[in-house]
Structure 1
Amino acid sequence: MTFFNTITTALAVTGLCAGIASAETRITYKSAKAGSSYYQMGVELAEAMKVGTDGAVIVTIEESQGSVQNVMEARARGADYVFTTPPSLVGLAQAGKAMFEGKGDPKFDEIRALFPIPSLTMHFVMSEESGVTDITGLEGKTILLGKGSFGATEGEKYIGLFGLTDKVTIADAELSNAVAALKNGQIDGFVTAGSWPAPNVIEAAASTPVTVLSLTPEQVAATKRTRLTIPAGTYAGQTEDIVTTSLPVVAYTTTQMDDDTAYALTKTFWDSKARMADTAPWWAGVDAALIATIEGKIHPGAVRYYKEAGIALTDAQM
């Protein structure tokens, strides 16, 4: 069963779209590089919006080079702009800090959240042959981190955080080579971050016995990231839940978007989420609890939906 042929919200379409000013509202959705899981999520969202609003909302997917670019473009885009980024980057942009230092703009203060999407989830994937069952066992092993990605940066941070610097050999290879290198015994494991279930982890687990490492509560706390549980059975051979860390990711727009459009996008997302999960399991990892990870303000149109749905928001979010 797919969401293409199971439209349980059809009766709500008229009321959902009545407040949208034009017969057809066009939205530009900017998320990630073509070919990435987050780009594919955008494609799925676009289809869900078209079906869920009976064609009243049409979403065009635009390729992105990353979250920083997405935030930066909020300065110049119009009312039809929706983009994805971790909430922490919005806070940095509004404060003019880190990668936004010297690039501040009053437009950043107009950024407003709509709804969460699958989080960037850390996976430490080890071959069963390596014998590693927890992160402290990485000592003396060869690990592939990749280059330039959140997973690579975060993986390097954790290696230092847990006293493994200079005790782990970092393979000089691209993450795209990780599964083959693991299968051939060239590496003992690799680190990747993305939505779960992660396609490269699925591929690795299907081709060779692997262990995806869990973190202890103390280790999770030390990372200062959000705790996340990957349910048992997500990957081949995984018999227990995996406790790991994540970086929340949220779909944003700006105050230029009218309230009715923001309401329609938010309501259609939540109404469509279960059907999207039927064909793309990473949507199953999104639930109302993730709304608590949204730092800063939520768009008034989305706030209207959350109030109707009985979902609690903080004063800071409204």
Structure 2
Amino acid sequence: MKRRLASLIALAMVGTIALTSCSSGSGSTTPAPANTDSVQTEGKDYGGLKYLRMCSGTQGATWTTVGSAMMEYVGSAMKDMGVSASNGPGGSVANCRAVANGEYELGWAFTSTVYDAYGATGAFSEDEPMENLTHIMSIFPSQQHFVVPADSSIQSLADINGKVVNFTPVTETSYTVNNKVFEAYGINQDTIESAGGTVTLTRFNEASELLKNGELDLWTACIAAPGSAVSDMAFAPGIRFVNIDEDKIPQILEQLPGFTEMTIPAGTYEGVDEDVRTVGTVGSIFCTADLPEDVVYDFLKTIYENWDALKAINPTAFGDLDVNDWLNGATAPIHPGAEKFYKEMGVM
């Protein structure tokens, strides 16, 4: 099984992915009215579904903003079937468990996280394999951000022992990434604290307030750039990024299946005038295999019809992604409803 999964993530691990455009802000806009003219629900079998619930990201994150807009469009498309669509907060690791357990029908997670959940590895090593998870679509990439105040004494990730470092909650992928990245430097939570530092496990949007108030030395998150929380910190008090050293990248990627080296281009954030070397992964939307085929097909049809409006919410994060990219990096089997859609679109 693990060999088969490894082949599925090959696309997510080839080359270095860079953002295709730059912005000093989030680029977010209010979503346009739904376009559902070509989504025909009459005669479809939704299996008696009444609620289509999605869990996405932390408040203020691009995942949450886009996920909410998606479900507005989907709710409009499916209203004649009596389906109420909604989007709630979450995190990549927690979302896999929530969807697998039936708390939500749809979830956002990094393809690398789905890989771990499907095979009971990494953050899911004590879980049963979540082999009921299936891939619906891939979405824009996210990059691990290592942010310090502009006047910080931290020049390298090797300097964080004895500092106040936010690892983010254990239910978020960024927590796992932080552990693997810092491990490459011989650093862990114990070494940070034994040197007089503090480890916090705070959600990134709340942690940004700590950095603004001078209570945090290193802010971390795996988010799509530009993230509004980072843009706010760039405005005040001003920030710098800490690069991952090039010689550490191979060791880190070996420990993080589905991740690849990425670049956050200069100018993405105010005051950040040089490219940032980091690692990242591809986001995805997934569900369980028993979600009715027509539901998944109509979900994708609705997203396709409203893709330009969704891209307008954060043009920098989406870049030039289109339907031909929606299977990139898939690490779980493709849902039958998704397979039907992609074959119809000529993608499969």
Q: TM-score range by the shorter chain?
A: 0.7 to 0.9
Give the deviation of 1:205 after TM superposition.
0.3
User: 1-side partners of 2:123 and 2:221: how far apart?
Assistant: 23
Corresponding residue number in structure 1 for 2:332: 296
Q: Which amino acid aligns with 2:72?
A: E
Change (3 A) 1:184 1:66: closer
Q: Name stretches of at least 5 consecutive residues in structure 2 with no aligned partner.
A: 1-28, 254-258
Tell me, yes or no, if the aligned pair for 1:3 and 1:48 is still in contact at 8 Å: no
Map 1:99-118 → 2, pairs under 5 A: 104=128, 108-118=130-140
CA deviation string 1:235-266 (max 9, x = no partner) = 22233443422243322123323333212212
User: How far 1:291 sits from its partner (Å)?
Assistant: 2.7
Q: The residue matched to 2:306 in structure 1 has which SS?
A: helix
Whether the 8 Å contact between 2:60 and 2:205 is mirrored in structure 1 is no
- State the match for 1:223 in structure 2: 252
1:285, distance to aligned residue in structure 2 (A): 5.7
Moved more, 203-212 or 171-180: 171-180
Runs (4+) off by over 6 Å: none
Aligned with residue 229 of structure 2, among 200, 217, 237 = 200
Deviation for aligned residue 1:89: 4.5
Bigger relative CO (Cα 8 Å, ≥ 6 apart)? 2
TM-score by length of 1: 0.74
**Residue 271 of structure 2 is aligned to residue 237 of structure 1:** yes
In structure 2, the residue matched to 1:316 is: none
Equivalent position of 1:145 in the other structure: 166
- Identical-residue share of aligned pairs (%): 19
Match of 1:161 in 2: 184
Which amino acid in the other structure matches residue 282 of structure 2?
P
8 A Cα contact 1:2 1:276, kept in partner: no
RMSD (CA atoms): 3.9
| CA distance in structure 2 between the partners assigned to 1:232 and 1:110 by the alignment | 41
Aligned: 1:305 with 2:328: no
8 A contact 2:226–2:317 mirrored in 1 = no
Aligned-partner Cα distance in 2 for 1:250–1:201: 22
The aligned amino acid for 1:13 is: V
Partner of residue 42 from structure 1, selected from 67, 76, 86: 67
1:13 aligns with 39
Q: Residue type of the partner of 1:171?
A: T
Unaligned runs of 5+ in 1: 313-318
Q: Residue type matched to 1:251 in 2?
A: I
**Who is 1:261 aligned against?**
295
- Is 2:220 the partner of 1:191? yes
Q: Is the 8 A contact 1:50 1:56 kept in 2?
A: no
Deviation at 1:39, TM superposition (A): 4.1
